[in-house]
A and B are shown apart, each in its own frame.
Chain A
């Protein structure tokens, strides 16, 4: 059972380039999330999804796009990379049981540097 898998682990982008950060979970969790962690800071929510085809913005969505075509995958797209997007990106998932949410699981992170 792999949990939440993020690829790549490291990436260097040039300003203006685009890339997709991949996130996959094999726990059949319905909720998925993307966070970013800037140096010396806590995590901030970029986007989240409550199920396939449904996504919504978090606290810091500008410069990013997401899609959720399947329950398992939740890719994060950077269209025009900027130095301000240099960060560590974490994907996470959780599931619901009744009105409660459980099993909050984070991936190991993607360290992105924009130069």
Chain B
């Protein structure tokens, strides 16, 4: 069975600090997809990244970066020079190889990130 663990329930840092959100996953499939979503206080889900299991390259997008390591089943997310607007709940999610193309996501419990001015 699939499982996503975000061990950090809450993180609080001061603005401009770097912060890393951990994500560990379990799956028996060799083909799978990993996602990160941001949920700001307004409640909507904002897509950040999707990575498939065959692409282990790290990715950087502005202040955001992701470190995918299959050897440790981890897909960690780092925010560099954090800003108050980064305050949100962040979810890591996993989808196994699609059944008829549908992508059923399994979510972690989320990490509540608070950036203090």
Any B CB within 8 A of the CB of A1: no
Interface SS of chain B: loop
Pairwise interchain contact A45-B100, C-beta atoms closer than 8 A: no
* A binding-site residues for B, Cβ under 8 Å: 30-31, 33, 35, 40-45, 48-50, 58-59, 88, 90, 94, 96, 99, 101, 104-106, 108-109, 111
Contact of A43 among B44, B91, B102, B103 (CB under 8 A): B91
- Given A106-B45, A108-B44, A109-B43, does the pair A43, B105 have CB atoms closer than 8 Å? yes
CB neighbours (8 Å) of A43 from chain B are 45, 91, 93, 105, 107
- Determine how close the nearest CB of chain A comes to the CB of B34; give it in whole angstroms: 12
* Contact-residue bracket for chain B: 20 to 34
Interface SS of chain A: strand
A111 to B42, CA, bound (A): 12
